[in-house]
A and B are shown apart, each in its own frame.
Chain A
Amino acid sequence: MTEVRPNSEGLSVLDRPNSYIGKTVPRPNLDRLMQGRGLYVSDMELPRMAHVMFLRSPHAHAKIAGIDPSAARQMPGVVAVVTGHELAKVITPWVGVLSHLKGLKSAPQHAIAINRVCWQGEAVAAVVATSRALAEDAAEAVFVEYDALDAVTDMRTALDPQIPVIHPSLGDNLAFERILDAGKVDQALADSDEIVEAEFMFGRHTGVTLEPRAVVADWNAAEARLTIYQGTQAPHMVQNIAALHLGLAERQVRVVCKDVGGSFGIKVHIYADEMATYALSKLLRRPIKFVADRVESFNTDIHARDHRCKGRIGVKRDGTITAFEIDDLTGIGPYSMYPRTSAIEANQVVNLVGGPYVTRNYRARARVVFQNKNVMCQYRAVGHPIACSVTEGLVDLAAARIGMDPVEIRRRNLVPDDAYPCTSPSGLRFEQLSHHASLGKLLGMMDYEGLRAQQAALRKNGIHRGIGIASFIEVTNPSAAFYGVGGARISSQDGVALRLDAQGAVICHTSITEQGQGSESLTAQIVGSVLGISMERVRVILGDTDNTPYGGGTWASRGAGIGGEAALQATKILRKNILDVAAAILQSTAAELDIANNAVVNAGDGAPRIELEELARIVYFRPDTLPPGIQPELMATRHFVPREYPFAFTNGVQASWLEVDTETGFIKLLKHWVVEDCGTIINPQLVDEQIRGGVVQGLGAALFEKCVYDERGQLTNANMADYLVPMSGEMPDIDVGHVVSPTLESELGAKGAGEAGTAGAAAAVANALNDALAPFGTIVTEIPLTPRVILTALGRI
């Protein structure tokens, strides 16, 4: 299911005999996880380790009138009960702003609340004991007196004059606003035959990583070093931030990342309770373990989406889309998250709406407001599902208004595949996208005409099925434009260091991290292919700031494109170094030699000349036998960051085929298709599984997931029985196809694939539902598409 588009550069380094590039090979080291012999942070135990349990506010907004920990301190097993005031002596507060998000403001946030709590779930005291159970027992004996304050909960009224300002020093509850006006929107709308408007609503949801956030912080007072074992996507970022706020040098902090039980952006941030855990270890001079329980996860893992977006589209009768206009509103909780901030999602919505389409006329306003709910921040496919649902929802509404097929209106308005490079109205630069090739392929895979015929036939029998299409663009391979330019010390470059060991195998350290995407595999595939050795001879080490090169980690679909290119370039250097030594040993020249099947061979006829193991033996143990002046260098390090384009945009299109029961309001997903273009595919299976997993995450948002807050700011469904996630029984099979437009910015040509699935899934489902409901003359623009929402739209309840 892959179409490769011509790449003028070719793929010479990768297109070698026995290359692993483009091949499905099993990921290394899966047995460890399948046999229950992985090492997740929640599994870790260290000598003298104590456990922290955070006592959390039951109020959304309250003054802390007093805390009396004296009874708790006498409880069995209790090591300490620490308040915000006490912990503030060890760790400084932070403000989650970045300078490139102009006007973004936030208030100082402490590791543990001082004087006031601003959301239900904010920690007010840390109870440290010899076991989590004993800490929980003692927490019940900590007496906290609260004076409840009015809670700001409705984002729609958060800016009204009569609503309290959460942080008076900020002046109002507006955290961030962005306004964009490109082209001539008013003129374009005036010239349109039809203007269609709708308000799109998105539930507040969260990542629900199966392993909750977990950290073990180990301050060694004798070494004056802090080792942080944490399930994080960005170890060097954690190192920087922990050091900064604990008053340490970065060299005094080591971050180690073992197996991570799911991340999806949830674990790319640094949470107040994690900061508190680092600080407690320093304060108490012993290892401290924090593992969130599920209720804590719902109350404190970042939430996302929760946007209300009014949209307008202008269209002519021939299907020409004349303009897009949006007014987006989101509430992010009481603080902008640190260090990535909580303005990025709204900013992305502004960037991405209308992105696949030709029209130059686009106006947008996005407002981000504070409220007394849990913090919101970047979660898989940041902003994409919102932008895609709004754009694709509007396009379908416009098509319906003028009586045009949804596919046809897209054909007439998607940016042509030969129009690149080009720039979007919001200033995004696209190197090479393939909307039309992708749409064409998708229609073939799904048999669009056949489904339309089936739909019409079933409709006569009162069976209501719908087809939904959603084209999308995806931000991947972010350069420093994402965070670095705003002052965040979050690396956009990554590095790979390789060394040939004494048996001719390769030890590879990479700064990207693994949370199951296949970072280890793709790195080994690239190193093995470029060097000419078998993957089994490549040992990949990730997630340790003491040992790996400095780099960003794995997030924003950057691991393969950035870390993979660093691996490619490092391997080319190692290969050259090996061939230089081989030439000296063999009295040949490097140009006449190659490496294949773990041996140096003749470049011409491929005849084996010397095994790498033998070469390594000579270099390490008998350098005396090498010619004079030869100093072998069997290590190589290279770093990479994209410089030409701020982001490597990818694109794709999804389709949903579903049936809705108009009596009960239940949706049955029958099938889902995706065609995406992530450039060079290193491992087709890994890409497909990223897509499928991402789609299902988007389907959860479409159908089930929502953090339900009441008007007092209480999260009413903070458990997995009430917050519904997609399970195997409700999910469809998903067919995945590819178009391949490699980026020319790297030799590897890979772009990201981690978020494409999540970006467009909900839009495709919502469009399919509205297609199914067409005979009823109603539309739904709110997710999750629960039976209540659907029955309400149908006027049944």
Chain B
Amino acid sequence: MSISLHVNGERVDAHVLPRLNLADFLREHLQLTGTHVGCEHGFCGACTVRVNGEIVRSCLMLAVQTHGASVQTIEGLSDTGEIADLQAAFRDRNALQCGYCTPGMLMAAQDLLKQEAAPDRERIREHLSGNYCRCTGYQAIVDAVETTAKARNGRSS
């Protein structure tokens, strides 16, 4: 099937099989390998991307469903600078070890920070509870997101 969409602001036209999921489309057809595949059944959150502004599990979405959509991946969010402060907080707090969950974790964290100005730690833990990290034990990630929320609040007030 033919699809046409925007990925990280660039127009993409492609022919794909109906069964191809969005994660494989991004990784194998567009070589956007920052979107990771961890479980392939929507549990681990490693493949989280943004479609029309909403975060989705790209392993649970078919590529053909993104026809006409705007998709943003970790590469796009990094290049626009939208999450530069969040990434800096992750670096300073060592909120990643192997880094495999990190693109999805950043996507989910930024989603929360866009929705809520001052989430508390429990709220952060709850929002990230669909993103599996085996390395950190989560505390450093919660700290980094909390720090970013406070810093953004400080700037906007």
Q: Separation in Å of the A210 CB from the closest CB of chain B?
A: 4
Q: Separation in Å of the A755 CB from the closest CB of chain B?
A: 14
Indicate whether A180 reaches chain B with its CB closer than 8 angstroms.
Answer: no
Q: Are B98 and A686 in contact (CB under 8 A)?
A: no
Rounded to whole angstroms, the CA-CA distance of A719 and B33 in the bound complex is 23
Q: Are A210 and B90 in contact (CB under 8 A)?
A: no
A689 nearest in chain B by CB position: B94
- Number of A-B residue pairs with CB-CB distance less than 8 Å in the complex they form: 174
Q: Are A720 and B138 in contact (CB under 8 A)?
A: no
Indicate whether B97 reaches chain A with its CB closer than 8 angstroms.
Answer: yes
Indicate whether B27 reaches chain A with its CB closer than 8 angstroms.
Answer: yes
Q: Are A35 and B138 in contact (CB under 8 A)?
A: no
Q: Separation in Å of the A132 CB from the closest CB of chain B?
A: 9
Interface centre among B32, B43, B130, B137, by most chain A C-beta atoms within 10 angstroms, is B137
Q: How many residues on chain A are close to B (CB under 8 Å)?
A: 57
Q: Separation in Å of the B154 CB from the closest CB of chain A?
A: 22
- Stretch touching chain A among B50-58, B62-70, B73-81: B73-81
Rounded to whole angstroms, the CA-CA distance of A38 and B103 in the bound complex is 11
Partner of B39 from A40, A260, A720, A730 at Cβ < 8 Å: A720
Partner of B91 from A26, A40, A515, A692 at Cβ < 8 Å: A26
Residues on A facing B (Cβ under 8 Å): 26-27, 30-40, 42-43, 131, 133, 207-212, 259-264, 293-294, 515-518, 685-686, 689, 692-697, 719-721, 725-731, 733-734, 757
Q: Are B78 and A36 in contact (CB under 8 A)?
A: yes
Indicate whether B131 reaches chain A with its CB closer than 8 angstroms.
Answer: yes
Q: Are A34 and B98 in contact (CB under 8 A)?
A: no
**Residues in B neighbouring A34, C-beta threshold 8 A:** 74, 78, 87, 90-91, 96, 99, 102-103, 106
Closest 4 CB pairs of A and B: A36-B34, A33-B99, A516-B97, A261-B100
B128 nearest in chain A by CB position: A728
Q: Are B94 and A692 in contact (CB under 8 A)?
A: no
Q: Separation in Å of the A225 CB from the closest CB of chain B?
A: 26
Partner of B141 from A38, A719, A728 at Cβ < 8 Å: A728
Rounded to whole angstroms, the CA-CA distance of A294 and B131 in the bound complex is 16
18 intermolecular pairs with C-beta atoms under 8 Å apart: A36-B32, A36-B33, A39-B33, A40-B36, A210-B46, A210-B100, A261-B98, A262-B98, A264-B134, A515-B97, A516-B98, A518-B97, A686-B94, A692-B136, A694-B137, A695-B137, A726-B137, A727-B138
Q: Separation in Å of the B60 CB from the closest CB of chain A?
A: 12
Q: Are B135 and A262 in contact (CB under 8 A)?
A: yes
Partner of B96 from A263, A516, A697, A721 at Cβ < 8 Å: A516
DSSP majority for the A interface? Answer: loop
Indicate whether B41 reaches chain A with its CB closer than 8 angstroms.
Answer: yes
Rounded to whole angstroms, the CA-CA distance of A43 and B96 in the bound complex is 19
- Extra 8 A-B pairs, beta carbons < 8 Å, given A518-B94, A728-B125, A731-B125: A36-B34, A207-B134, A260-B98, A262-B98, A294-B41, A516-B99, A729-B129, A734-B139
Q: Are B134 and A30 in contact (CB under 8 A)?
A: no
A380 nearest in chain B by CB position: B134
Known: A210-B100, A721-B43. A731 touches B36 (CB 8 A): no
Indicate whether B71 reaches chain A with its CB closer than 8 angstroms.
Answer: no
Q: Are B100 and A262 in contact (CB under 8 A)?
A: yes
Q: Are B46 and A35 in contact (CB under 8 A)?
A: no
Q: Are A685 and B91 in contact (CB under 8 A)?
A: no
Known: A42-B37, A293-B40. A692 touches B132 (CB 8 A): no
Indicate whether B3 reaches chain A with its CB closer than 8 angstroms.
Answer: no
Rounded to whole angstroms, the CA-CA distance of A397 and B136 in the bound complex is 32
